[in-house]
Structure 1
Amino acid sequence: MKNEVANFMEEKNYYELIGLPPDASNEEIDKAILKKIRIWQKRTNTPTLARRQEAERMIERLDEIKLILLDPEQRAKYDQKLQEIKRK
């Protein structure tokens, strides 16, 4: 169970991935995500297949983060799940 918690926090802590605290505003979140997408977008044109695939995965993850954190209902559910995980 503890490994599951660590994996969730490592893989799914969206706030850490975008470098913002959980109480960040929607505007701050949107700006941070767009900044990260721009950075990763440049890497999609690298000559290395592995780097391109990594960049594509990260862009997909950032799109997922944007959908969840900018939707009030989804964000509330995500924050609640994050709090439950932290308590364990």
Structure 2
Amino acid sequence: MRTLLIAFVVAASPLAAMAPALSQGKSQGSSQGSSQGSERPAKPLPAPAPKQTTSNPCAAFGPGFVQVEGSATCVRLGGGIGVGVGSSSRR
């Protein structure tokens, strides 16, 4: 147990020593971008196009039918589970 704790401390110490340097590097990088006045601000992203709602062309076949992508074929997936139990009284 003691060796496990020592191994953990030894493994974590380089990471703890690097953490302040990493955080300073990030803050310096962000201050460099704001000090340069020649950069233009980023353009906002365009709004996504609204999805067009289309009616289900397979609705005429009944509930559960869907159209196969890229074709005019309609399919219906379904399934069931059955269990049968029987006994005989012959001896």
Q: Does the alignment reach a TM-score above 0.5?
A: no
Larger relative helix fraction: 1
